[in-house]
Structures are given as structure tokens and as C-alpha cells.
Amino acid sequence: MTTAGRFTGRVAIVTGAGSPDGIGMAVARLLVGEGARVVLGATSDRVAARAAEVGGDAVGVIADLTFDGGAEALVSAAVDRWGTVDILVNNAGMTSVSSGWDADATVAQLSRSDWDNAIARNLTTAFLMCRAVVPVMTSAGYGRIVSVGSTTGTINAMPGQSTYTAAKAGLVGLSRALALEVVDRGVTVNVVAPGYVATGSQLPFEAAAAAAGPIGRSGTPAEVAACVGFLAHESASFVTGAVLVVDGGHGLPETWTARGSGSAWSPTTGRS
């Protein structure tokens, strides 16, 4: 149920909102719960169920953002229904029902098609959404763009994941360049970079690494959503081109001691 709050009267788009326990869904819940009207985007019809679960002023739209026209469909859904777009949360990427996971391969083994597909899913989706929404925001003189990146590619990397690492690093570059292009038009552009988060797509080794780390657990989608909410609010008007790391301190030490053992744990390899 919609309640009055920080985002009353604001219109938002949240991409990558098909999973019931993902970051996109958590962000949508936060925004709608605090008064926003939200378009949820995903690649399959399960997004309708997510919109129904969120309730309030939420609508689900099926759109594959790796193709031209998908981003425009989401923006049009918001503008046709509510007249504008105040907030864009770029959360699509990593994996999807329609396209699966990024390839796990070394640079020497990686095929061109696997590279192209991963970059399209993790970086091009955000570019296309930004390109589609920026004219609406600059015309209104107001906007908040928040992209969900990762600590991977921002402060660390993983062998076998050059595609994801490059895409998330590229997302930071895209956001900073765009921030400069629109800073004088009332639009801010920022990145939230989560570390290990307990979603349905979290892998066992990630959960193990999080449990062995400084804080002893993974983050929750709601904790990431809270950071997105800060940057998406009008009060964050002097923050742009920034990266907000949300990792419980996992990126701080070079190594850490696994809980219950005397061995050093490497966040990259999972071993000493």
C-alpha cells in the first residue's frame, strides 16, 4: 500500500525487477512504499507479478533492454501514464530469464559472442536507458539516475569474469561522463556498487566468502535499496558522478582470516 513519504509525487523506472528477491524488487518496494509511482521493467511476464506484489502505483512492463526500442518502451510507459520520469534506477544485468548468465571463461578462452552478450546485458542496457530518459529529465529540469554497479570492476576483479568486470567498470565511466553532461540541468547521475548480496542469484562461493569476511555475512537487497533511495532523493542534489560502495567492508583488507580458522581468506580465490 502506498504511504506518504520522501518520494510522494515522483515517477520512477526500475529495470531488472523481475526477481522476487532481487535488488530491483527491493528498490521498487522502497520507492512505492514512500509514495512514488513506479514502472518495473524485466524481460519476462513475471514482472506483472512483481508489480502486483509491490502494489500501490506500480506497473510492470516487459522489455528486453539489449535491443533498441526496449528502453523507449519503459520511458513511454511512465510518461504516457504519469507525464514524466523523475528517477531512473538501472538494475538490469548479470543474469536474466531470457539470456541466462555471463560466460565464465578466461580472456584467452572467451568467444566474441559471449563478450558481446555480457557487455550488452550489463552495460549497454544502462546506456540505452540513460539515452532514452535524459531528454525527459533535462526538459523538466530535474532527474535522478542511479545505476547498480558492483564492487567487481570498481574496486576488485575476478578471474574468468572479464566481461562482467569490464562492464561494471564501464558503468562507472558512463555515469561520470553523463553526470558532467547534465549537471547544469538539475540531473544527478551516480552508482551504487554492492558487494556480496543475498539474492536468489548469489552463488555458493559468494555466500561463503561473505560469511568469512569482516562483517561475517552478505548484505541484503533492502540494504542496497536504502543506498539507492538516498541517491534517488532530491536531497542528494550535491552528489553526482559518485560511487557509493555497499559491501560491509569486504573490499577493505587485502586478505582476511576465515572465521573459525587460522588461515587467510582471499576474496578473489577463496583460499589462502
Give the CATH number of the domain where residue 230 resides.
3.40.50.720
The position carrying cell 506484489 is 53
Q: Is 164 designated active site?
A: yes
Residue of 135, 140, 250, 269 lying closest to 195 (CA atoms)? 250
Domain total of the chain = 1
* Local structure of 14: helix, strand or coil: strand
**What are the percentages of helix, strand and coil residues in the chain, rounded to 5?**
40, 20, 40
Contact, 30 vs 226, CB < 8 A? Answer: yes
- 54 close to 32: Cβ distance less than 8 angstroms: yes
Distance CA 164, CA 93 (A): 9
Buried-state track 21-57, b at ≥16 Cβ within 10 A, e below 16: ebbbbbbbbbbbbbbbbbbbbbbeebbbebbeebebb
- Residue 249: inside a domain: yes
Q: Which of 7, 164, 196, 265 is catalytic?
A: 164
Asked whether residue 2 is assigned to any structural domain, the reply reads: no
Asked whether residue 20 carries a pLDDT value surpassing 80, the answer given is: yes
Per the domain annotation, does 4 fall within a domain? no
Residue 61 in domain: yes
pLDDT(1) > 50: no
**pTM of the entire structure?**
0.91
The tens digit of pLDDT for each residue in 27-56 reads 999 999 999 999 999 999 999 999 999 999
pLDDT of residue 3: 44
How is residue 193 annotated by DSSP? E
**Cβ atoms of residues 213 and 267 within 8 Å:** yes
The pLDDT-based confidence of 271 (bands split at 50, 70, 90) is: very low
Which pLDDT value is given to residue 50?
A: 95
Q: Choose between 258 and 148: higher pLDDT.
A: 148
Mapping DSSP to helix (H, G, I), strand (E, B) and coil, where does residue 168 land? helix
Report in angstroms the alpha-carbon separations of 46 from 16, 52, 60, 98, 202: 11, 10, 9, 12, 20
Give the model's pLDDT for residue 253: 86
The answer to whether residue 1 is domain-embedded is no
Q: Assess if residue 90 is contained within a domain.
A: yes
Cα–Cα dist 95/100, whole Å: 5
Above 50 in pLDDT, residue 17?
Answer: yes
Task: Answer whether residue 212 is part of any domain.
Answer: yes
pLDDT tens digit sequence for 131-184: 999 999 999 999 999 999 999 999 999 899 999 999 999 999 999 999 999 999
Any domain includes 166: yes
- Domain containing 142 equals 11-265
Q: Which residue has the higher pLDDT, 243 or 203?
A: 243
Question: Mean pLDDT across the chain, nearest whole number?
Answer: 91
> Cell 554492492 appears where?
194
